[in-house]
């Protein structure tokens, strides 16, 4: 009977899964929890805004809402593979409590479900580097791939959020 209970507990642990939206930045794969993404759309025309950081590309009209568009590669200082000039991009729309933000990616984002046990905590030295807020939730392992799992709500500092809201 006891071995049956242990097996039931293992089955329950195995059932706990995380659904991610996975995309590439530079040569690396990143993922965000699907519940942090409102929608994925082809990036509409972007209007540049004055006095915003360079990684904020401007604002776009997405389904009647004017939202700020951020380039995550620029935000994280990731270089595009040389010679790659994307013809179009996609925007992951994220809705926080106080603001809505779009994140540009250059490949069609994919959906992926991983067991929670396949996501390791980010190494402590990486967490120490991100002094403001730790936006790396962990490192997901899927077959021979490593996926950096981001907490999309922690990518902006509180000062940047205030700037967006104004």
Q: What is the pLDDT of residues 13-33, one digit of tens each?
A: 455 899 999 999 988 999 999
Which has the minimum average pLDDT: 83-97, 117-131, 137-151? 117-131
Residue range 102-113: average pLDDT? Answer: 92
- Give the pLDDT score at 132: 45
Tokens of 88: 């179009």
Show the domains of the chain with their CATH numbers: 2-165 (2.40.50.180)
How far is CA 19 from each of CA 36, 56, 112, 119, 158, rounded to the nearest angstrom? Answer: 10, 27, 6, 12, 27
Nearest to 102 by CA among 137, 58, 134: 58
- Give the pLDDT score at 137: 87
Assign 36 a pLDDT band (cuts: 50, 70, 90): very high
How far is CA 56 from each of CA 66, 70, 103, 161, rounded to the nearest angstrom? Answer: 14, 4, 9, 12
Residue range 110-136: average pLDDT? Answer: 74
Assign 103 a pLDDT band (cuts: 50, 70, 90): very high
For residue 136, list its beta bridge partners. 150
CB burial of residue 25 (10 Å; 0-12, 13-18, 19+): buried
Query: Would the pLDDT of 129 be above 60?
Result: no
Task: Kindly report the average pLDDT of the chain as a whole number.
Answer: 82
Q: Tell me which of 1 and 49 has the higher pLDDT.
A: 49
Residue range 55-72: average pLDDT? Answer: 92
Say what the pTM is: 0.79
- Give the pLDDT score at 8: 55
Assign 131 a pLDDT band (cuts: 50, 70, 90): very low
């Amino acid at each position: 009977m006891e071995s049956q209970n242990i097996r039931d507990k293992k089955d329950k642990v195995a059932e706990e899964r995380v659904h991610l939206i996975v995309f590439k930045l530079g040569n690396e794969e990143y993922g965000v929890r699907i519940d942090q993404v409102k929608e994925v759309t082809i990036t509409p025309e972007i209007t540049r805004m004055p006095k915003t950081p360079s990684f904020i590309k401007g604002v776009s009209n997405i389904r009647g809402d004017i939202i700020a568009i951020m380039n995550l590669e620029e935000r994280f200082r990731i270089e595009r593979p040389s010679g790659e000039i994307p013809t179009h991009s996609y925007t992951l729309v994220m809705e926080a409590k106080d603001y809505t933000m779009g994140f540009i990616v250059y490949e069609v984002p994919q959906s992926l479900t991983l067991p929670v046990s396949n996501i390791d905590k980010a190494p402590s030295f990486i967490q120490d580097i991100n002094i403001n807020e730790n936006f790396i939730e962990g490192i997901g392992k899927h077959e021979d791939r490593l996926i950096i799992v981001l907490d999309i709500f922690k990518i902006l500092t509180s000062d940047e959020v205030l700037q967006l809201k104004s």
